[in-house]
Protein backbone atom coordinates (compact mmCIF):
# COMPACT_ATOMS: atom_id res chain seq x y z
CA UNK A 1 0.00 0.00 0.00
CA UNK A 2 1.20 3.54 -0.69
CA UNK A 3 1.96 5.87 2.19
CA UNK A 4 1.53 8.96 0.00
CA UNK A 5 0.74 12.24 1.70
CA UNK A 6 -2.64 13.75 0.87
CA UNK A 7 -2.82 17.53 1.10
CA UNK A 8 -5.90 19.72 1.64
CA UNK A 9 -7.01 23.19 0.58
CA UNK A 10 -5.88 25.82 3.10
CA UNK A 11 -2.91 23.75 4.21
CA UNK A 12 0.62 25.13 3.87
CA UNK A 13 2.15 23.80 0.65
CA UNK A 14 5.56 22.14 0.76
CA UNK A 15 8.38 24.49 -0.14
CA UNK A 16 10.43 23.52 -3.16
CA UNK A 17 13.41 24.46 -5.23
CA UNK A 18 13.79 22.55 -8.48
CA UNK A 19 15.59 23.02 -11.78
CA UNK A 20 13.85 23.10 -15.15
CA UNK A 21 15.10 21.74 -18.46
CA UNK A 22 16.88 25.04 -19.21
CA UNK A 23 18.84 24.99 -15.94
CA UNK A 24 16.69 27.67 -14.26
CA UNK A 25 15.94 27.11 -10.58
CA UNK A 26 12.29 27.57 -9.57
CA UNK A 27 11.90 28.34 -5.89
CA UNK A 28 8.49 28.51 -4.23
CA UNK A 29 9.58 31.29 -1.85
CA UNK A 30 10.56 33.50 -4.81
CA UNK A 31 7.08 33.17 -6.29
CA UNK A 32 5.56 34.04 -2.90
CA UNK A 33 7.76 37.14 -2.65
CA UNK A 34 6.55 38.18 -6.12
CA UNK A 35 2.89 37.75 -5.09
CA UNK A 36 2.34 35.01 -7.68
CA UNK A 37 0.01 32.04 -7.50
CA UNK A 38 1.68 28.86 -8.75
CA UNK A 39 -0.05 26.02 -10.58
CA UNK A 40 2.10 22.92 -10.12
CA UNK A 41 0.91 19.98 -12.15
CA UNK A 42 2.39 16.49 -12.03
CA UNK A 43 2.17 14.23 -15.05
CA UNK A 44 3.52 10.74 -15.74
CA UNK A 45 5.62 11.10 -18.89
CA UNK A 46 6.62 13.48 -21.66
CA UNK A 47 5.19 12.99 -25.15
CA UNK A 48 2.49 10.46 -24.23
CA UNK A 49 -1.04 11.18 -25.52
CA UNK A 50 -2.65 12.24 -22.22
CA UNK A 51 0.35 14.23 -21.04
CA UNK A 52 0.60 15.99 -24.40
CA UNK A 53 -3.11 16.89 -24.29
CA UNK A 54 -2.81 18.33 -20.78
CA UNK A 55 0.39 20.28 -21.56
CA UNK A 56 -1.11 21.74 -24.75
CA UNK A 57 -4.26 22.77 -22.85
CA UNK A 58 -2.08 24.69 -20.37
CA UNK A 59 -0.09 26.16 -23.28
CA UNK A 60 -3.26 27.36 -25.00
CA UNK A 61 -4.48 29.09 -21.82
CA UNK A 62 -1.21 30.70 -20.68
CA UNK A 63 -2.25 34.23 -21.69
CA UNK A 64 -5.34 34.03 -19.49
CA UNK A 65 -3.42 32.48 -16.58
CA UNK A 66 -0.47 34.89 -16.83
CA UNK A 67 -2.77 37.92 -16.94
CA UNK A 68 -4.09 36.84 -13.51
CA UNK A 69 -0.56 36.35 -12.07
CA UNK A 70 -0.54 32.56 -12.26
CA UNK A 71 2.70 30.72 -13.01
CA UNK A 72 2.44 27.19 -14.46
CA UNK A 73 5.07 24.56 -13.68
CA UNK A 74 4.87 21.03 -15.08
CA UNK A 75 6.65 18.29 -13.12
CA UNK A 76 7.68 14.79 -14.13
CA UNK A 77 10.59 12.43 -13.57
CA UNK A 78 11.70 12.78 -17.20
CA UNK A 79 15.21 13.88 -18.19
CA UNK A 80 16.41 17.27 -19.37
CA UNK A 81 16.60 16.03 -22.96
CA UNK A 82 13.11 14.54 -22.85
CA UNK A 83 11.68 17.79 -21.47
CA UNK A 84 13.50 19.87 -24.08
CA UNK A 85 12.15 17.73 -26.94
CA UNK A 86 8.62 17.86 -25.48
CA UNK A 87 8.76 21.65 -25.08
CA UNK A 88 10.10 22.12 -28.60
CA UNK A 89 7.73 19.71 -30.34
CA UNK A 90 4.61 21.04 -28.57
CA UNK A 91 5.76 24.70 -28.46
CA UNK A 92 5.18 24.81 -24.70
CA UNK A 93 5.35 28.26 -23.13
CA UNK A 94 5.97 27.28 -19.50
CA UNK A 95 8.77 25.42 -17.70
CA UNK A 96 8.95 21.69 -17.04
CA UNK A 97 10.74 20.80 -13.81
CA UNK A 98 12.98 17.75 -13.57
CA UNK A 99 12.19 15.65 -10.51
CA UNK A 100 14.47 12.73 -11.39
CA UNK A 101 14.74 11.46 -7.79
CA UNK A 102 11.05 12.01 -7.03
CA UNK A 103 11.52 14.48 -4.18
CA UNK A 104 8.69 16.77 -5.34
CA UNK A 105 6.45 13.79 -6.08
CA UNK A 106 6.95 12.64 -2.48
CA UNK A 107 6.40 16.11 -0.96
CA UNK A 108 3.17 16.61 -2.90
CA UNK A 109 1.97 13.03 -2.47
CA UNK A 110 1.74 12.23 -6.17
CA UNK A 111 3.92 9.09 -6.17
CA UNK A 112 1.24 6.54 -5.40
CA UNK A 113 0.22 2.95 -5.72
CA UNK A 114 -1.51 2.49 -9.06
CA UNK A 115 -3.47 -0.39 -10.50
CA UNK A 116 -3.75 -1.20 -14.18
CA UNK A 117 -5.18 -4.42 -15.61
CA UNK A 118 -4.76 -6.17 -12.26
CA UNK A 119 -1.13 -5.10 -11.90
CA UNK A 120 -0.05 -2.91 -8.95
CA UNK A 121 2.92 -0.57 -9.21
CA UNK A 122 4.15 2.80 -7.97
CA UNK A 123 3.74 5.69 -10.38
CA UNK A 124 2.81 9.32 -10.80
CA UNK A 125 -0.81 10.15 -10.10
CA UNK A 126 -1.71 12.98 -12.51
CA UNK A 127 -2.42 15.81 -10.06
CA UNK A 128 -2.66 19.60 -9.96
CA UNK A 129 -2.04 22.02 -7.10
CA UNK A 130 -2.61 25.77 -6.93
CA UNK A 131 -0.49 27.54 -4.34
CA UNK A 132 -1.47 31.09 -3.40
CA UNK A 133 0.97 33.94 -2.72
CA UNK A 134 0.69 33.10 1.00
CA UNK A 135 2.12 29.64 0.35
CA UNK A 136 -1.14 27.79 1.08
CA UNK A 137 -3.02 25.45 -1.22
CA UNK A 138 -6.01 27.26 -2.74
CA UNK A 139 -7.06 24.37 -5.02
CA UNK A 140 -5.89 20.81 -5.60
CA UNK A 141 -6.93 17.57 -7.24
CA UNK A 142 -5.33 14.13 -7.29
CA UNK A 143 -5.84 11.56 -10.07
CA UNK A 144 -7.25 13.95 -12.65
CA UNK A 145 -8.12 13.09 -16.25
CA UNK A 146 -5.95 14.81 -18.85
CA UNK A 147 -8.85 15.73 -21.14
CA UNK A 148 -10.94 18.63 -19.84
CA UNK A 149 -8.84 19.14 -16.73
CA UNK A 150 -7.45 22.58 -17.59
CA UNK A 151 -10.91 23.85 -18.55
CA UNK A 152 -12.28 22.62 -15.21
CA UNK A 153 -9.41 24.31 -13.38
CA UNK A 154 -10.05 27.60 -15.20
CA UNK A 155 -13.75 27.49 -14.30
CA UNK A 156 -13.00 26.76 -10.65
CA UNK A 157 -10.47 29.60 -10.53
CA UNK A 158 -13.11 31.94 -11.97
CA UNK A 159 -11.24 32.30 -15.27
CA UNK A 160 -13.35 30.03 -17.48
CA UNK A 161 -16.38 30.60 -19.61
Residues known to be catalytic: 51
CB distance 65 to 160 below 8 Å: no
Those residues whose C-beta lies under 8 Å from the C-beta of residue 12, and which sit 6 or more positions away, are 135, 136, 137
Cα–Cα dist 33/135, whole Å: 10
In 33-118, beta strands by DSSP E:
37-42, 70-76, 96-98, 111-116
Partnered with residue 130 across adjacent β-strands are 39, 139
User: Comparing C-alpha atoms, which of 69, 54, 43 is closest to residue 133?
Assistant: 69
Amino acid sequence: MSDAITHEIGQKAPTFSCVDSQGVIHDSSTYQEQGKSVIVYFYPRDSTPGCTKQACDFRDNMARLSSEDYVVLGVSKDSEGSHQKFISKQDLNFPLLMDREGELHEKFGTWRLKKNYGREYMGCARSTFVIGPDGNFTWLRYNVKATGHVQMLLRELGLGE
